[in-house]
Amino acid sequence: MIKYLLKCKHCEQEFESWFSSSNEYDRLLKLKLLNCQSCESINVEKSLMSPNLLNTKKKENSKEIKKYREIRKKLSDYKKFVKDNFEYVGENFTYKARSIHYDKKKPKKGIYGSASLKDVKELREEGIKTDIIPWIEDDKN
């Protein structure tokens, strides 16, 4: 694929278009199938286009991707730690947290599971310490 900057000779409008090859551009031009996006004129030609030698956005994206991967790795490590050291109670998290708090029994392990934001807020209002952590899906690849 190749991208050309095209210019209409009639209205001076410039626009970009993709072609499968330079030969394809020549073929479409010869068949008069290229037209201006603004005025529909078929009097269109290639214009000068600067090459994409160094794209600073790619560098920025590379830094962002690296940062994203680092954060994802930390979250994954944290998730593994929680799974290895806490008991999964699933949707019963709110009930189990209250049971532990009010029964004053020390469990062998801490617990983790699912709770709505409303439930977490209520637990905190009752003096039950809870934390919310982002639970990322494991990489499949």
Distances (CA, A) of 50 to 5, 37, 54, 61: 9, 21, 11, 21
Distances (CA, A) of 107 to 75, 97, 99, 138: 25, 10, 10, 28
Tally the residues of the chain: 141
Task: Tell whether the model's pLDDT for residue 8 goes beyond 80.
Answer: yes
Residue 51, CB half-sphere, CA atoms under 13 Å: how many? Answer: 2
Please say whether the beta carbons of 96 and 89 come within 8 A: yes
Calculate mean pLDDT across residues 70-76: 89
Residue-wise pLDDT for 29-47, tens only, equals 898 888 988 898 999 998 8
Task: Tell whether the model's pLDDT for residue 139 goes beyond 70.
Answer: no
Nearest to 103 by CA among 115, 95, 111, 92: 95
The reported pLDDT for the residue numbered 68 is: 86
Strands, E assignment, 29-69: 44-46
The reported pLDDT for the residue numbered 141 is: 44
Phi, psi of 45 (to 5 degrees): -140, 165
Task: Tell whether the model's pLDDT for residue 50 goes beyond 70.
Answer: no
What's the pLDDT band for 60 if we cut at 50, 70, 90?
low
- DSSP state, residue 13: -
